[in-house]
């Protein structure tokens, strides 16, 4: 082997070795917890602060904010919160309320739709869904966060024998749900109050059959815990370069 050829192969090997050594497998955990309104804690306070940042500051919704907290009349003893946590910080959440209790669809937004009567047996409403953009900005594979959250929502519904979840969504959120693989049903379409845009009442079935397509979208980067043992935990792996 001539000298030039030997130097070329040596430099190629060195460059490859550096690239391989610079690839570090990173692991981080995302856990989903169930918290009731009555568990007033630092975590609940943080949740209400994040809701203010999301719904008032970023989306400019007409919501009630007091002392940097966003909360309304549905934040009461009937409410349960599903929260996703990374490094002890909330990154996403939604609120559950039994359809047999006062809820946003049948009360706050009833005038946006005709014939708003909804089934109440074994059904729940989801509202105030959000993913905090700032806290997930440095997470690789952050597109998976919504999918993981949807899986956690279904696990909660199945565990409590709910047939499904009703929610009120904007057109962009409707598209996110449809792209996730969750086979949802659009029940009604109406006009948002004071805005020239449509909103939708959506039914999201909570069965093992409906959950499976979402699980299949999660590749080998995700390791799942028992999906009925709370908190649910997901171990994500990424390659850092």
- Model confidence pLDDT, tens digit, residues 112-152: 998 888 888 899 999 999 999 999 988 877 778 999 999 99
148: left (phi over 0), alpha (psi -120 to 50) or beta: alpha
Domain annotation covers residue 12: no
Domain annotation covers residue 10: no
pLDDT of residue 120: 80
pLDDT at 168 over 50: yes
Q: pLDDT-based confidence at 20, cuts 50/70/90?
A: very low
Interval 51-60 mean pLDDT: 90
Domain annotation covers residue 2: no
pLDDT at 220 over 80: no
HSE-CB for 33 with a 13 A CA cutoff: 16
Q: Structurally, how many domains does the chain consist of? A: 1
225 CB-contact burial (10 Å; exposed 0-12 / middle 13-18 / buried 19+) = middle
pLDDT of residue 169: 96
pLDDT of residue 137: 86
Domain annotation covers residue 92: yes
Domain annotation covers residue 8: no
pLDDT at 12 over 70: no
pLDDT at 22 over 80: no
CATH of the domain at 121: 3.40.630.30
pLDDT at 173 over 70: yes
CA 114 to chain centre: 29
pLDDT of residue 138: 81
Name the residue with higher pLDDT: 20 or 160: 160
Q: pLDDT-based confidence at 238, cuts 50/70/90?
A: low
Interval 74-90 mean pLDDT: 96
Interval 161-172 mean pLDDT: 96
Domain annotation covers residue 96: yes
In angstroms, the CA 57 to CA 78 distance is 26
Whether residue 168 contacts residue 104, with contact meaning beta carbons closer than 8 Å, is answered with yes
3-state SS, residue 64: coil
Domain annotation covers residue 109: yes
pLDDT at 2 over 80: no
Place of tokens 């981080």: 28
Interval 46-50 mean pLDDT: 94
In angstroms, the CA 25 to CA 84 distance is 23
pLDDT of residue 19: 45
Name the residue with higher pLDDT: 97 or 223: 97
pLDDT of residue 240: 44
pLDDT of residue 40: 72
Domain annotation covers residue 5: no
Interval 173-191 mean pLDDT: 94
- Domain span at residue 50 reads 22-240
3-state SS, residue 33: strand
pLDDT of residue 15: 45
Q: pLDDT-based confidence at 181, cuts 50/70/90?
A: very high
Name the residue with higher pLDDT: 222 or 133: 133
């Amino acid at each position: 082997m001539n000298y030039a050829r030997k130097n070329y192969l040596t430099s190629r090997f060195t460059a490859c070795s550096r690239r391989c050594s610079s690839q570090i497998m990173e692991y981080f955990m995302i856990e989903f917890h169930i918290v009731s309104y009555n568990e007033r804690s630092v975590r609940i306070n943080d949740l209400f602060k994040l809701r203010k940042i999301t719904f008032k500051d970023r989306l400019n919704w007409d919501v009630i904010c007091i002392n940097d907290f966003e909360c309304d009349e549905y934040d009461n003893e009937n409410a349960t919160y599903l929260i996703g946590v990374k490094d002890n910080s909330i990154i996403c959440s939604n609120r559950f309320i039994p359809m047999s209790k006062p809820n946003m669809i049948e009360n706050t937004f009833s005038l946006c739709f005709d014939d708003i009567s909804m089934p109440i047996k074994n059904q729940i409403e989801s509202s105030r869904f959000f993913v905090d953009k700032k806290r997930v900005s440095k997470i690789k594979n952050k597109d998976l966060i919504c999918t993981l959250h949807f899986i956690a929502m279904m696990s909660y519904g199945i565990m409590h024998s709910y047939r499904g979840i009703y929610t009120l969504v904007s057109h962009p959120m409707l598209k996110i749900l449809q792209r996730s693989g969750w086979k949802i049903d659009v029940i009604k379409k109406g006009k948002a109050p004071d805005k020239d845009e449509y909103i939708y009442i959506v039914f999201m079935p909570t069965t093992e059959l409906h959950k499976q397509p979402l699980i299949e979208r999660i590749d080998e980067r995700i390791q799942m815990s028992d999906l009925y043992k709370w908190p649910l935990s997901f171990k994500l792996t990424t390659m850092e370069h």
